[in-house]
């Protein structure tokens, strides 16, 4: 099966492995997730005794931190050692294991929910789905969530266009939606969210995207210069801190 994101295998592998090269920047600059999304995600299993949650492909722990902060029993699993090191440093009280989605290092029937933040498109679903089924208890849920910029806001749309990311995001959604819907009974939720940035930290955030990490230095510099120019040209973002509007799109799949 072609990787979920639809990239050629060699590009897929390069992009999937690129985040570890900027793990501290990823931990510092990537957005978190809203509690409302997690509440919605876990609604079908909230009454489970000893509710246990797996954050799969946990990265530096952006979603893990939210889950732990809500008092949930969460285990994080992440394949990249540099990303995992950031997670363990930031959340020393959370069990965090190294492993891929295709070989989850947990026992059978051990969790009620598998949550995936910004990572399902990196999985080999032919191998990952049997593993997710294996670790899920009966009636469990798989929830995949993606943070995206809210380009209904004019300056955000201009920034995304400058970064050449509107087409990329739309193409990813077009590829992923049928893949996710084919996995089981699927429901969608959209949740408004935000983060605070300056011009410099917004550029730093954009710089952590995999398609830039694996591009040529010249192209990367050009894209980031365009993003900076858009931000400096708009009174809403030119000076000081500003709020970046986000929309988190989540797909919840319930299994019998």
**8 A C-beta contact, residue 58 and residue 96:** yes
Question: Tell me, what's the pLDDT at 138?
Answer: 93
- Assign 42 a pLDDT band (cuts: 50, 70, 90): very high
> Which distant-in-sequence residues (6+ apart) come within 8 Å of 46 by Cβ?
none
- Assign 179 a pLDDT band (cuts: 50, 70, 90): low
Residue 186: beta bridge partners?
253
Tally the C-alpha atoms within 13 A of residue 27's C-alpha that lie toward its C-beta. 20
DSSP-assigned letter for residue 172: H
Within 10 Å of residue 30's Cβ, how many Cβ atoms? 18
Question: Tell me, what's the pLDDT at 30?
Answer: 94
> 66: which 2 tokens?
């939210």
Question: Tell me, what's the pLDDT at 170?
Answer: 45
- Assign 185 a pLDDT band (cuts: 50, 70, 90): confident
The average pLDDT across 231-236 equals 95
For residue 26, pLDDT over 80 is answered with yes
**8 A C-beta contact, residue 78 and residue 98:** yes
For residue 11, pLDDT over 70 is answered with no
For residue 5, pLDDT over 50 is answered with no
> Rounded CA gap, 158 and 215, in Å?
21
* 194 backbone φψ class: left, alpha, beta (φ>0; ψ -120 to 50): beta
């Amino acid at each position: 099966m072609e990787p979920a994101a639809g990239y050629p295998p060699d590009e897929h592998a390069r992009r999937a492995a690129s985040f570890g090269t900027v793990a501290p920047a990823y931990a510092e600059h990537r957005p978190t997730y809203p509690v409302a999304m997690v509440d919605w995600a876990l609604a079908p299993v909230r009454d489970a005794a000893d509710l246990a949650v797996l954050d799969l492909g946990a990265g530096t722990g952006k979603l893990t931190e939210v889950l732990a902060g809500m008092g949930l029993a969460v285990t994080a699993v992440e394949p990249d050692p540099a990303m995992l090191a950031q997670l363990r440093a930031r959340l020393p009280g959370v069990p965090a294991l190294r492993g891929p989605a295709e070989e989850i290092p947990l026992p059978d029937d051990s969790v009620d929910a598998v949550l995936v933040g910004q990572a399902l498109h990196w999985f080999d679903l032919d191998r990952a789905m049997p593993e997710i089924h294996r670790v899920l208890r009966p009636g469990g849920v798989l929830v995949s969530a993606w943070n995206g910029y809210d380009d209904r806001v004019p300056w955000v749309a201009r920034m995304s266009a400058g970064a050449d990311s509107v087409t990329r995001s739309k193409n990813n959604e077009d590829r992923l939606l049928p893949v996710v819907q084919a996995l089981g009974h699927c429901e969608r939720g959209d949740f408004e969210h935000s983060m605070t940035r300056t011009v410099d930290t917004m550029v730093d955030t954009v710089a952590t995207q995999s398609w830039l990490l694996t591009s040529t230095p010249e192209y990367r510099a050009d894209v980031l210069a365009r993003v900076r120019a858009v931000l400096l040209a708009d009174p809403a973002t030119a000076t000081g801190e500003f709020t970046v509007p986000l929309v988190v799109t989540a797909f919840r799949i319930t299994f019998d």
